[in-house]
Amino acid sequence: MKKIRLFFISLFLGVAAPVIAGTPTYEVQPSPTPADENHRELFDYELDYTGSSNFYDVHGNFGHGDSLYNDVSYAHRFLITGKWYFRAGIEYERFDFDGTNNGLPDRD
């Protein structure tokens, strides 16, 4: 008997809760303007430093030293039509190695 009573109470609360809470209201959101859809200026910078590491090749240990990697890129997107863009930019990338005479160049 208690289980049936508990079932009907939970059924009633499940149906009555949304009615008591009220009806949801929906608001119209403004559509994004074309300027908000995509960024025109793209900039990226990446820096990786590995200190006091061992370098390996397919034959085993290649040496010991530090490595530094820099990557900077900039691009601009020119609107062609609709959602079509032409992208043009520049990129600078550099590897630096330091440490023992391990066969790696000082920079590349």
Alpha carbons 90 and 45: distance in angstroms, whole number:
12
Looking at the predicted structure, is the pLDDT value of residue 48 above 80? yes
Residue 93 falls inside a structural domain = yes
Please state the pTM of the whole predicted model: 0.49
Q: What is the pLDDT of residues 7-36, one digit of tens each?
A: 777 777 777 666 666 666 677 767 666 555
Residue 18 in domain: no
Residue 89 lies in a domain: yes
Domain span including residue 67: 28-99
Q: How many domains does the chain have?
A: 1
**Do 69 and 95 meet the contact criterion of CB atoms below 8 Å apart?**
yes
Query: Can you spell out the DSSP letters for 65-94?
Result: EEEEEEEEEEEEEEEEETTEEEEEEEEEEE
User: How confident is the model over 59-75, as pLDDT tens digits?
Assistant: 777 677 788 899 999 99
In a domain? residue 17: no
